[in-house]
Structure 1
């Protein structure tokens, strides 16, 4: 299974709701992830451009897209971003494969 980093920024209204009634959002999203064949590996609050970060293991891009669409449809997020993660070994293999492509830039 592949790893993904999911980042999301709450709306002002979602923050107001959390302040009035704090909730463990990891426990709220875990069933959605599991319903799509995935596993929530970790969940963090992150103060900056995005408010929460989740590391998710999932079988494929479609499963993670379904999660992202479900969260976006809920209306509590003003922005979200999903990033496919690769292990160091996968990154090194990608570089090895790239070196064998023979690609030359324009004019090169």
Structure 2
């Protein structure tokens, strides 16, 4: 299954929700939305600094990740970004593929 790194920052409204229901309440909500689409939460951490939450999730396909991302962003409670994560084998396969490319101005 494709893996994704999700980094999120709570909006003021989202922070109020976190204060109301706590970290375990948010974890339960994340688990539900991910598993409902056939995925799995590998790790979830709260942080402070630029990001408030960091997750690693597995989804059956990128469309499932996009569906979650759109729904979460539409809530207005979080600003998120998702980064696809590749395995070593996937990068090895990519290095074996021949790509023809001309850099700008060359």
Which category of TM-score, normalised to the shorter sequence, fits these structures?
0.7 to 0.9
> Which stretch of structure 1 is more off in the superposition, 15-24 or 42-51?
15-24
Matches within 5 A, 1:1-108: 1-24=1-24, 25-77=26-78, 79-97=79-97, 100-106=98-104
- How far is 1:96 from its partner? 2.3
Corresponding pairs, count? 105
Mapped to 1, the partners of 2:101 and 2:41 lie a distance apart of 38
- Does the C-alpha gap of structure 1 residues 41 and 74 become closer, same or farther in structure 2, counting only changes over 3 Å? same
Give the TM-score taking structure 1 as reference length: 0.83
- Deviation digits for residues 38-78 of structure 1, max 9, x if unmatched? 1111101122222101111011111001111121122211x
- Deviation digits for residues 3-40 of structure 1, max 9, x if unmatched? 01111110123223323442322211111111111111
Give the TM-score taking structure 2 as reference length: 0.84
**What SS does the aligned partner of 1:34 have?**
helix
RMSD: 1.8
Gaps of at least 5 residues in structure 1 are: none
